């Protein structure tokens, strides 16, 4: 029997098991105008994602300095009825250097959140976001101020659901105390290379835990509170799927070879194996893939159709961390 499913709050929205991350939409991180070629590139990526059942798209106000959202907005305007068929998720809370007189910093003040969402909606050419994530933990955040900002956005119909990114359980718990709307997403870096999400629980009270910085209890908290865990960087920049691994730690090369063997055995792509490893976790992890090229997106097609055995999952885990259980 398979228990893989998305957490309870996600039943409110038709989320696909995989998300297409749109960080590469819009080309370079500069102030150059959007070209038709960039729009065509974005449209091809969106159409390919839809072809393999991905209808959840992840953006952020800073991606290519706003051009990612503008390109996505152009794609929305070109494909009739698309807005009603997909989930659009964006993020705010990072201020890049050069956009004003201040340094690069995090900003979750009420004024900045409200202004950011208006900018996101304008660039996308839409009336509401399905999900807004707070991009990074802001050391100067006032939880009550954030709660008031989110309530205003929800009441105004500008954002339907909320979440966070790169936050631990206690940070989420504190924010939730002051928010009248639930947080339904937490997006974190998780992959066969970034295995802290597993290590945090497995190495409790053991020597390896001293090197782990993944916040202990976050996975369990999100499961208990029905918060969808999303994984950014799930392919580890291709380290296990064909990218040259010379100069990497020995565990990368060994795990890459193991992934290739498992992929050949099932007649699927290595990408499908790497994503299936993440998605086997009981938390129902939702990978956010960052590719824009159609051939790369198609490589993920089989990830939701295969189920690794317990032995295979532990083989990959042990290989990646370089030790037996």
Active site residues: 63
In terms of phi and psi (left: phi > 0; alpha: psi -120 to 50; beta: otherwise), the region of 109 is: beta
Cα separation of the two ends of the chain: 25
Token pair in block for residue 140:
């100067």
Contact status, residue 136 vs residue 95, Cβ threshold 8 Å = no
Q: How many CA atoms lie within 13 A of 202 on its CB side?
A: 15
In whole angstroms, what is the distance from residue 201 CA to residue 212 CA?
10
Contact status, residue 1 vs residue 36, Cβ threshold 8 Å = no
Contact status, residue 179 vs residue 146, Cβ threshold 8 Å = yes
- H or E element in which residue 229 lies: strand 228-232
Contact status, residue 183 vs residue 163, Cβ threshold 8 Å = yes
Dihedral (CA of 46, 286, 256, 233) sign: positive
* Residue 121 neighbours by CB under 8 Å, 6+ apart: 127, 128, 129, 158
In whole angstroms, what is the distance from residue 48 CA to residue 35 CA?
20
Dihedral (CA of 19, 25, 29, 34) sign: negative
């Amino acid at each position: 029997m398979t228990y893989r499913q998305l957490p309870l709050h996600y039943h409110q929205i038709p989320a696909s098991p995989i998300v297409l991350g749109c960080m590469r939409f819009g080309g370079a991180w500069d102030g150059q105008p959007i070209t038709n070629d960039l729009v065509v590139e974005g449209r091809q990526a969106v159409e390919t994602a839809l072809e393999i059942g991905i209808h959840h798209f992840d953006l952020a106000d800073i991606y290519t300095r706003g051009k990612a959202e503008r390109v996505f907005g152009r794609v929305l305007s070109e494909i009739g009825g698309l807005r009603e068929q997909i989930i659009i998720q964006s993020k705010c809370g990072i201020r890049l250097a050069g956009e004003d007189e201040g340094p690069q910093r995090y900003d979750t003040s009420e004024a900045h959140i409200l202004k950011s969402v208006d900018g996101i909606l304008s660039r996308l050419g839409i009336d509401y976001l399905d999900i807004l994530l707070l991009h990074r933990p802001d050391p100067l955040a006032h939880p009550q101020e954030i709660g008031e900002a989110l309530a205003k956005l929800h009441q105004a119909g500008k954002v339907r659901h909320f979440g966070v990114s790169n936050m631990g359980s206690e940070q989420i718990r504190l924010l939730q105390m002051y928010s009248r709307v639930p947080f339904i997403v937490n997006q974190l870096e998780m992959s066969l290379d970034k295995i802290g999400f597993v290590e945090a629980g497995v190495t409790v009270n053991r020597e390896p835990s001293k090197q782990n910085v993944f916040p202990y209890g976050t996975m369990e908290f999100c499961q208990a509170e029905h918060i969808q865990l999303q994984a950014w960087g799930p392919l580890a920049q291709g380290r296990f799927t064909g990218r040259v691994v010379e100069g990497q730690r020995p565990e990368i090369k060994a795990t890459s070879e193991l992934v290739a063997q498992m992929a050949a055995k099932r007649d699927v792509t290595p990408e499908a194996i790497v994503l299936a490893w993440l998605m086997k976790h009981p938390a129902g992890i939702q990978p956010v893939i960052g590719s824009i090229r159609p051939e790369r997106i198609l490589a993920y097609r089989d990830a939701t159709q295969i189920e690794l055995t317990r032995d295979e999952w532990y083989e990959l885990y042990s290989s990646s961390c370089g030790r037996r259980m």
